[in-house]
Structure 1
Amino acid sequence: MTEFDVKGWCPGALRPMQSGDGWVVRVRPRLARLTRAQALGLCDAAQSFGAGLIDLTNRANLQIRGVSDAALAPLQQALAALDLLDSDADLESRRNILIAPDWADGDDSARLWAELAGRLAELPELPPKMGFAMDAGPAPVLSNDPADFRIECGQHGLTLRAEGRALGMALQHGQEIDSLIRLCRWFVDTGGAQSGRMARHHAPLPDWAIWDAAPAPPSRAPFRAGAMPLGLVVGAAFGQIIARDLAQVLAVSDVPAMRVTPWRCLVLEGVTAAPALPASLIVTPDHPALRVDACAGAPLCPQASVETRALALELAPMVDGSLHVSGCAKGCARARAADITLIGRDGRFDLIMQGRTDATGLSRSQILTRFERL
């Protein structure tokens, strides 16, 4: 198997990551929301200091790609002026907090996000990719999104649940973050750092709580492109937005703010009808480009040996189920198995169908011919 480099941390704005097209600078907007001014400023920064592209991540963050060495400091200064920069890199790296995107002012999800964000310094030193989910709405909506510790709606009130465990502990109002921080300390004290993630840590849960609280059934589905009560949901193929196109939409609409979701889409608050949109922004819920996952691929990622996204777009109309095209064996673009997976290896592809290897060493043309016959 081709060797690849597994990064042990996630990029930030103060601690960016080098990629094949320059620095990747990740912005973690508070409550996953940007005001109109912040969103327009971010679009301008992506065009002025990067390649003009903004990625939506599965942790509801935003990434500016293609930042040169010379542009990095001016970009950070621009983000600070927009109030999108943390006070230091350590706190930034800890603020991996997902929030149910339909939170409202003063509700439990917003209250708990704000309290945890204000108490990050109390957390023990956790592995850098660990994160949290504040999913305290009427039913969980983030169950399939990445988090190690979840505060979510249970069958009889809010619960704290460790990832990989079916049941959690019932929470007392006002003590939720106290319990979360205590569970994080248990994780470290019992050797969890060696496991790296909560789902891989199999130590018995601490006996200072009763772990019998079931989460409420996940009756709410992730947002889909189109209109909803909160506003207009706008999707982007592979979660990559052309900054110029987004700025154009913001400029001609009265949207007061924009929310970021972990589902490769944005919510334009208060927009009830779709304005004229550039082709890169999608409001059709069943658009084929929104059903496929593909990483940046070559040449943008030095780990990848194949181009991914153009191939994925060409295959999308041919595939009924889920499709994942990965530039290497890491599979960064999708955490869970897809019906069909293509994995780049030494400039060609291995084909995985329903979890089983179907063919290896396929060229791009061989793949297209095969799928045209399905």
Structure 2
Amino acid sequence: MNERQQPTALRPSACPGLLRIVQALDGGICRIKLNGGSISTAQAVAVADAAERFAGGVIEATNRANLQIRGVGNEHGALIDCLLAAGLGPRSAAGDDVRNLMLSPTAGIDRHLRIDTRPLAAQILNTLESNARFHDLSAKFAVQLDGGEALAMLEHPHDLWLGVVEGEGEQRLTFGLAGCPLDPPAGAVLLSDGHALVVAVLELFLELARPDQTRMRHLLGEYSQESFLQALATRVALTPLCDGQRDLSYSSSPIGTYPQRQDGRVYVGAVPPLGRLDPAMLNGAAHLAEAFGDASLRLTPWQSLLLPNIQAADAPVLSQRLQDLGFLLSADQALTQMVACTGSAGCGKGLADTKADARRLARQRQGKGDPLQVHLSGCPRSCAAAHIAPATLLAVSPGHYDLYFRDAGQPGFGALQARNLTIEAVGALLDAHPRSPLDA
């Protein structure tokens, strides 16, 4: 898209986008959707520049591997033009909302991948943007493509997920509806039919769903999955489910240095504290990616970033320079295990300053030797975490939270453990609680 689309070209939505800046307590929010979570260093510099010139200098990594600028002032048009000039926009205004396709941050470079998902992802994204019919999808309707990588977010629910499995001497794509790759698959197709499957699922959803049924789970609430699959089988060739399963015997972390499938190359994962960067941090990471890597950065659904294709010998120096910029590089740092929404400092719905409280809790938890992830949410919407964390703090008033432990047998955040706790009381309770139940 060479020229900025006028706001009248956009459909109403509560979700921010690059072309739709949504007002919050701390100013406007501009969300930049990245293809496969990847951004060039030149584009990253453009984001940093726009955040400094036209906003409050706050840049956030999101849990869908995108970036957003907070605190946007009155110069919406100038900020949008800056980002479009960097090639960060959609082909058309209506195509911006539907670019919701999540890959592993290590697509194409992971040592354990079964296929490089990027070519298929490019096909899917091109169809989502260019097919006007799909512009009717909700801005929250999301697809995940899992290539079997060791570094993969497998807990985020998606309207449609696809995962590569091996069985009976061949590879296939299994898929599921309104779930995640940890769920039993609903069906399977040949790898060559992956794009056709996505198109068929989306077309069928749009034909069957009422206007108020914006997500796959809404449709399946009254239209059975079996009926959906029967209708789907008339549009794309479904194959029998094979015995192959997603291999969970290996995993990587988005923090630290890990070898790639390319000889002598590694990727380095760095965490901006609580998912927030300032322009200097993003600029610095971009310059390091140019100096040591392939001039690209990859965002992750853990609200962090990766620098790929680094020479193994350069990783220690690169890691130190990232730390000097303010990034966290070790999972032993308690703050890397804290997830917090904007909270009352930037959101009118937030009942507590979750970012500040998360830092306080991290200071209490430092040195405990327990990598427990804790999610602090200012309200029940859970904007900062798309999955259920082992421990969730739900704000009830400034500095006070209800504590939940994840429990697969209970909906929502899990099992309520205690109400109206101070941060100090939360820290004491977490210290006293056995570790194992939190992994349920």
TM-score, scaled relative to structure 2: 0.75
Q: Are the aligned partners of 2:59 and 2:279 in contact in 1 as well (CA < 8 Å)?
A: yes
Contact 2:18 2:30 in 1 (8 A): yes
Shifted more, 141-150 versus 304-313: the winner is: 141-150
Select 1:160's aligned residue among 158, 165, 175: 175
Using the TM superposition, name which of 309-318 and 250-259 deviates more.
250-259
Report the secondary structure of 1:188's partner residue.
helix
Distance 1:307 1:9 in 2: 23
Deviates more, 1:291-300 or 1:132-141: 132-141
1:131 pairs with 2:161: no
Contact map agreement 1:236 1:282 (CA 8 A) in 2: yes
Give the structure with the higher percent helix: 2
Offset, 1:10? 2.8
Deviation at residue 270 of structure 1 after TM alignment: 2.9
**What's the CA shift for 1:195?**
4.1
Residue 416 of structure 2 corresponds to which residue in structure 1? 357
Distance 1:169 1:53, change over 3 A: same
Distance 1:172 1:316, change over 3 A: same
Higher relative contact order (CA 8 A, sep 6+): 1
Partner of 2:104: 100
What is the root-mean-square deviation in Å for CA atoms of aligned residues?
2.8
Equivalent residue for 1:45? 50
Give 1:88 shift. 2.7
Aligned residue for 2:37? 32
- The 1:172/1:210 distance shift into structure 2, 3 A limit, reads closer
2:339 corresponding residue in structure 1: 293
Please, which of 394, 400, 411 is the counterpart of residue 343 of structure 1?
394
Residue 262 (structure 1) aligns with: 301
Counterpart position of 2:162: 151
Range 297-306 or range 41-50, more displaced: 41-50
- Distance in 2 separating the partners of 1:60 and 1:131: 12
CA contact (8 A) 1:126 1:193 kept: no
Q: Work out the CA distance in 2 between the residues paired with 1:281 and 1:62.
A: 16
- Percent identity, aligned pairs only, is 25
Change (3 A) 1:193 1:368: same
Secondary structure of 1:143's match?
Answer: coil
Take 1:223 and 1:341, find their aligned partners in 2: how far apart are those partners?
A: 21
Cα 1:333–1:222 change in 2 (3 A) is farther
Indicate conservation of the 8 Å contact 1:318/1:371, yes or no. Answer: no
Indicate which of 68, 73, 86 corresponds to 1:82. 86
Please name the residue that 1:116 is paired with. 124
Instruction: Please list, as runs of the form range in 1=range in 2, the aligned pairs for 1:1-374 lying within 5 A after superposition.
Output: 9-69=14-74, 71-104=75-108, 108-120=116-128, 121-122=130-131, 123-124=133-134, 125-137=136-148, 141-156=152-167, 157=171, 158-164=173-179, 166-191=184-209, 194-200=212-218, 201-202=220-221, 203-204=224-225, 205-207=228-230, 208=233, 209=238, 212-213=241-242, 215-221=245-251, 223-229=253-259, 230-251=266-287, 253-255=291-293, 256-271=295-310, 272-273=314-315, 274-276=319-321, 277-278=323-324, 280-319=326-365, 320=370, 321-347=372-398, 349-354=400-405, 355-362=414-421
Distance 2:200 2:253 in 1: 32
Unpaired segments ≥5 residues, structure 1: 1-6
| Bigger shift: residues 302-311 or 201-210 | 201-210
Name structure 2 gaps, 5 residues minimum.
Answer: 1-11, 110-114, 260-265, 406-413, 434-440
Provide the C-alpha distance between the structure 2 equivalents of 1:349 and 1:369, rounded to a whole number of angstroms: 14
8 A Cα contact 1:140 1:152, kept in partner: no
Aligned length: 366
* Alpha-carbon distance between aligned partners in 2 of 1:211 and 1:136, rounded to the nearest angstrom: 20
CA offsets, 1:235-287, max 9 Å, x none?
12221112212313433543321111111211112334224233631111322
3-state secondary structure, aligned to 2:400: strand
Instruction: Give 1:294 deviation, angstroms.
Output: 0.8
Going from structure 1 to structure 2, the CA distance change for 1:138 and 1:257 (only over 3 Å counts) comes to closer
Give the deviation of 1:175 after TM superposition: 2.4
CA distance in 2, matches of 1:364, 1:140: 32
Question: Is the 1:132–1:149 Cα contact (8 Å) retained in structure 2?
Answer: yes
In 2, are the aligned partners of 1:15 and 1:89 still within 8 Å (CA)? Answer: no
The superposition leaves residues 168-203 of structure 1 with CA deviations (integer Å, 9 ceiling, x where unpaired) of 332234321111111122223333754433245242
- Looking at structure 2, the residues matched to 15 and 79 of structure 1 have their Cα atoms a distance apart, in angstroms, of 13
Equivalent-residue separation in structure 2 for 1:306 and 1:343 (angstroms): 9
Shift in Å, 1:153? 1.0
Q: Is the 8 A contact 1:298 1:307 kept in 2?
A: yes
When normalised by structure 1's length, the TM-score is 0.87
Pick closer, same or farther for the CA change 1:210–1:9 going to 2, 3 Å.
farther
